[in-house]
Amino acid sequence: RQRTMTDHKTSKEQKYDRQLRLWGDHGQEGLENAHVCLINATATGTEILKNLVLPGIGAFTIVDGHKVSGEDVGNNFFLTSSSIGKNRAQAATELLQELNSDVSGNFVEESPDKLLDNDPEFFHRFSLVIGVQLPESTCLRLGSVLWDAGVPFLVCRTYGLIGYMRLIVKEHTVIESHPDNALEDLRLDQPFTELKHHIESYDLDSMEKKDHSHTPWIIVVAKYLEKWYSEHNSQLPKNYKEKEAFRQLIREGILTNENGTPEDEENFEEAIKNVNTALNPTKVPSATEDIFNAEQCENITSQSPSFWVMAHGVRDFVRNEGNGKLPVRGTIPDMIADSDKFIKLQNVYRDKAMKDAAVVSKHVEALLQSFGKPPESISEQEIKLFCKNAAFLRVVRCRSLAEEYSMDTFNKDEITSCMDSADSEMVLYLMLRSVNRFYQQHSRYPGVYNYQVEEDINKLKLCVNSLLQEYSLNVNVKDDYIHEFCRYGAAEPHTVAAFLGGSAAQEAIKIITHQFVPFNNTFLYNAMSQTSATFQL
């Protein structure tokens, strides 16, 4: 039995290898514990689920009261012509489940409106609800239920060549945002004691050439910085000119041979190249500062999520032992150096990071104890991870759908300023809102049948105008867009559904794993021009 368990684990590791390298075993664990609800198994819906089932989400439940139509099968890979007439949730579940035996697939043959009427708490159980091709009224109703229950809600829609997504989550915290181009945390402008001592242990002037050219560039910069300070009132090189002069100072330190020509010292070249990185002033990034100043960080209660408890702990550290600085991250980039010098330097940073994290731990512990919570309710490992990522913490707060729709709180500025350029993706948002209005009035979408297109253009135009009027939006929507949206006839072409399927699944994974940063809050994709935009509405 032991053996089968191990085998299963290894084969899972192999199967998920390419993604484990992105979100780690802990990210995968989060995914495997998640239960996602999909409303409507249209092409967009099944494409989203496919991209969640493949990486091994724990469970999904499809809610769909529709019967499969011939049109549904035409654009959907997870329905076949033999499923025409059957319930769409059931038919899609069968073919999606078949993708990955690790995943548990469920379905409910019911419309979301019925569920909202009879059992709104049904939706409380999910890690995330994804609503696809929903009428506006359902969207708003469900949005309000989920907002109150604190369940994240992702709205997705493919409308002709336009893709739309709206994320509604009250507060989403991210420890591991995995930034693409993170600045190093080297503290050369404010070296900590242990680093100072380590720098002092080097004497570049008395070194053999071999050691001299294998001294890590961090040390080289630190040494020449001391020299610079002595000549410049202990001020860092600030502008380009000063940095150039500083580079020259380092360059002059390159050993020369008996003829006076400089030796080949790659570590010095690296030092010169890295002057900017090295002189980057140590400070708390504004996003982290905002987190410290947030009300959730200020007022910790016994109910506070561990993110905020740890944020408070780090804030205590910054305001006390850290002297205004975050805990040391404890990593350095690779650089020319012999193994011994590099490892020793790396350990100086690592040890300091451990020490700082231990101090943060004490703060966290004290905080937990003040609510009578056991200190081990937040593990040492979690705190270390938090400290290591202290400069990259992110909190995403989306506005509710109610706020987006209310006359008092809708984001007029964003809409008006974007609409200054007539082809901004914002016009697509206004068109989708107008199409919803059309649906409300006519109980159908414009231009579904060929004969409707011409007459629906005028009807849709009325909807656009009444929308703009109602919200007092003094913007111009080109007739071309009205015509184009009638032409779409609410079609859901597969390739646009698939684009959204990939994008939405990735956002779902971000919400579930609390890694990487979700968009906030409205995403529009224009497949005609292959462009996209994100708005806060």
Q: Which of residues 203-222 bind another protein (CB under 8 A)?
A: 214
Does residue 21 belong to the site contacting another protein (CB under 8 A)?
A: yes
Q: Give me the long-range contacts of 183-186 (CB less than 8 A, separation at least 24).
A: 183/277, 183/280, 183/391, 184/277, 184/280, 184/331, 184/332, 184/333, 185/282, 185/326, 185/328, 185/329, 185/331, 185/391, 186/218, 186/277, 186/278, 186/280, 186/332, 186/349
Shortest approach of another protein to residue 337 CB, angstroms?
Answer: 7
Single out the segment in contact with another protein by CB under 8 A; choices: 65-73, 246-254, 280-288, 437-445: 65-73
Shortest approach of another protein to residue 203 CB, angstroms?
Answer: 21
Q: Which is nearer to another protein, 110 or 184 (CB)?
A: 184
Question: Which neighbouring-strand residues pair with 166?
Answer: 155, 522
Q: Which is nearer to another protein, 14 or 406 (CB)?
A: 14
Q: Which is nearer to another protein, 115 or 432 (CB)?
A: 432
Shortest approach of another protein to residue 361 CB, angstroms?
Answer: 21
Instruction: State the Cα–Cα distance between residues 77 and 99, nearest whole angstrom.
Output: 12
Shortest approach of another protein to residue 345 CB, angstroms?
Answer: 10
Shortest approach of another protein to residue 108 CB, angstroms?
Answer: 24
Q: Which is nearer to another protein, 52 or 328 (CB)?
A: 52
Single out the segment in contact with another protein by CB under 8 A; choices: 64-72, 123-131, 367-375, 402-410: 64-72
From residue 443 to residue 472, the character string flagging contacts with another protein as x (rule: CB under 8 A) and all else as - is: ----x--x--x-------------------
Residues 485-501 as b/e (b if ≥16 CB within 10 A, e otherwise) read bbebbbbbbbebbbbbb
Shortest approach of another protein to residue 268 CB, angstroms?
Answer: 16
Shortest approach of another protein to residue 102 CB, angstroms?
Answer: 10
Q: Which of 147, 166, 168 is nearest to 155 (CA)?
A: 166
Instruction: State the Cα–Cα distance between residues 332 and 350, nearest whole angstrom.
Output: 9
CA 510 to chain centre: 6
Binding positions for another protein, 485-514, rule CB under 8 A: 487-489, 491-496, 498-499, 501-503, 505-507, 509
Number of residues lying near another protein (CB under 8 A): 87
Among 26, 32, 35, 54, binds another protein (CB under 8 A): 54
Q: Which is nearer to another protein, 75 or 274 (CB)?
A: 75
Instruction: State the Cα–Cα distance between residues 194 and 36, nearest whole angstrom.
Output: 49
Binding positions for another protein, 330-349, rule CB under 8 A: 334-335, 337-340, 342-343, 346
Q: H helices within 84-216, ranges in order? A: 88-97, 112-118, 136-149, 193-200, 209-212
**Beta strands at 59-63 and 153-159: parallel, antiparallel or unpaired:** unpaired
From residue 286 to residue 325, the character string flagging contacts with another protein as x (rule: CB under 8 A) and all else as - is: ----------------------------------------
- Judged by DSSP in three states, 301 sits in coil
Q: Which is nearer to another protein, 87 or 304 (CB)?
A: 87
Quick one: CA dihedral 136, 138, 144, 148, positive or negative?
A: negative
- Judged by DSSP in three states, 184 sits in coil
Does residue 84 belong to the site contacting another protein (CB under 8 A)?
A: yes
Single out the segment in contact with another protein by CB under 8 A; choices: 237-245, 313-321, 414-422, 522-530: 522-530
Does residue 476 belong to the site contacting another protein (CB under 8 A)?
A: no
Q: Which residue has the tokens 């008996």?
A: 258
Q: Which is nearer to another protein, 36 or 115 (CB)?
A: 36
Single out the segment in contact with another protein by CB under 8 A; choices: 103-111, 115-123, 413-421, 515-523: 515-523
Phi–psi pair at 107, nearest 5 degrees: -145, 155
Q: Are 20 and 32 in contact (CB under 8 A)?
A: no
Binding positions for another protein, 356-415, rule CB under 8 A: none
Single out the segment in contact with another protein by CB under 8 A; choices: 14-22, 252-260, 404-412, 426-434: 14-22
Binding positions for another protein, 125-184, rule CB under 8 A: 160-161, 177-180
Shortest approach of another protein to residue 507 CB, angstroms?
Answer: 7
Shortest approach of another protein to residue 163 CB, angstroms?
Answer: 10
Q: Report the amino acid identity of residue 194.
A: E
Q: Which is nearer to another protein, 153 or 159 (CB)?
A: 159
Instruction: State the Cα–Cα distance between residues 124 and 141, nearest whole angstrom.
Output: 14
Shortest approach of another protein to residue 175 CB, angstroms?
Answer: 14
Q: Which is nearer to another protein, 115 or 391 (CB)?
A: 391
Give me the helix-helix angle, 339-370 and 380-388, nearest 10°. Answer: 120
Among 6, 8, 33, 74, binds another protein (CB under 8 A): 74
Among 44, 76, 389, 400, binds another protein (CB under 8 A): 76
Shortest approach of another protein to residue 8 CB, angstroms?
Answer: 12
Q: Are 133 and 436 in contact (CB under 8 A)?
A: no
Quick one: CA dihedral 383, 384, 385, 387, positive or negative?
A: positive
Q: Report residue 404 as tokens.
A: 């987006």
Shortest approach of another protein to residue 298 CB, angstroms?
Answer: 26
Q: Are 353 and 322 in contact (CB under 8 A)?
A: no
Binding positions for another protein, 247-276, rule CB under 8 A: none
Instruction: State the Cα–Cα distance between residues 199 and 190, nearest whole angstrom.
Output: 13
Please report the DSSP string for 46-109 in residue order: HHHHHHHHTTT-SEEEEE--PBP-HHHHHH-TT--GGGTTSBHHHHHHHHHHTT-TTSEEEEE-
Q: Are 493 and 138 in contact (CB under 8 A)?
A: no
- Judged by DSSP in three states, 479 sits in helix
Does residue 50 belong to the site contacting another protein (CB under 8 A)?
A: yes
